[in-house]
Amino acid sequence: MKKVIYLLLLSASFFSCKQNKGREAYSEEAAAETVSSQDASMVSSSAAVVDKNSTRKFIRTADLRFKVKNVAKSTYAIENTVAKFGGFVSSTELRSNIINTSTAKKSNDSLVETTRFVVENNMIIRVPNTLLDTTLKTIARQIDYLDYRIIKADDVSLKLLSNDLSQKRNQDNQKRVEDAIANRGKKLGETLDAEDRLHESQTQSDEAKLSNLSLKDQVNFSTLSLSLYQREEFKKEVIANPDSEEYRTSIGVRIMDGLKTGWHILEEIIIFFVNIWTIIVLGIIIWILIRRRKKKTNP
């Protein structure tokens, strides 16, 4: 009997420990999910998420600036995410912005050049409107520090309706003008005036149609403007010291260069006097005449 009771107690303690471990594991998973959801909530948004049957149409845009561990790697990850969700990259400007450059002497013939720079990338991406929140949550995995997040949703339902009504009015007006030209526009002046009105109506109809196409494109694909940057970095490079004695020209070469330079100057002087020989001859003749006159006046 004692053995049976002992076995029952041992079994109960075993199951109790197993349940406690299960609860601890569940708590750790739940905590991890909570932390992950908190990181994602920094950039995700459910603004202007409407029912599929709603007549409202929203243009949703997002503007984010955040710090990442590595701009290049995060850029590639975001580009892969956009392609996976059926979007595309409208523009990307990956560059290193130099803050300053300084040099310090390392030895008589070398210097150490230190460059401080920050790697940045400004991206514009477009993703399907229905996947905007999912895209933002995926991008949140790259964020090390969030500077700001601006998300807007503009309702363009009335603008779309206005363009549709304007297009319909212009089409009706075109039909009436075309009938007027066919039936009553027999005079040249009346025909030209009617055709001008027809052209104006067609232009307004085309503009309304193009405006609607642009609005629908912005409704279907949300635009995200992303500004990524990383921690300031340093780059050191050993370069030659241009003031070093080792790189100075030897005295022999400098003497030869001096002789050549002097000879070139002499050549230029000779050529100068050759070019003005007529002036020199004329000056000599004038000088001789002046001397002769002075001798005649002073015998």
20 falls within a domain: no
Residues 156 and 271 in one domain: no
Question: Above pLDDT 70, what percent of the chain?
Answer: 66
Residues 99 and 194 in one domain: yes
Report CA 40 to chain centroid distance, whole Å: 25
Q: Tens digit of pLDDT for each residue in 90-107?
A: 999 999 999 898 888 877
Boundaries of domain holding 255: 245-276
- Return the exposure string of 72-111: e unless at least 16 CB atoms fall within 10 Å of the residue's CB, then b: eebbebbbebbeebebeeeeeeeeeeeeeeeeeeeeeeeb
284 falls within a domain: no
What is the pLDDT at residue 29?
39
Per-residue pLDDT band at 8 (split at 50, 70, 90): very low
Residues 114 and 254 in one domain: no
Residue 36, both tokens: 């992950």
* Global confidence as pTM: 0.55
Residues 129 and 220 in one domain: yes
1 falls within a domain: no
11 falls within a domain: no
The count of domains in the chain is 2
Q: Tens digit of pLDDT for each residue in 111-145?
A: 888 899 999 999 999 999 889 999 999 999 999 99
- Written in H, E and C, the secondary structure of 39-76 is HHHCCCCCCCCCCCCCCCCEEEEEEEEEECCCHHHHHH
Residues 202 and 232 in one domain: yes
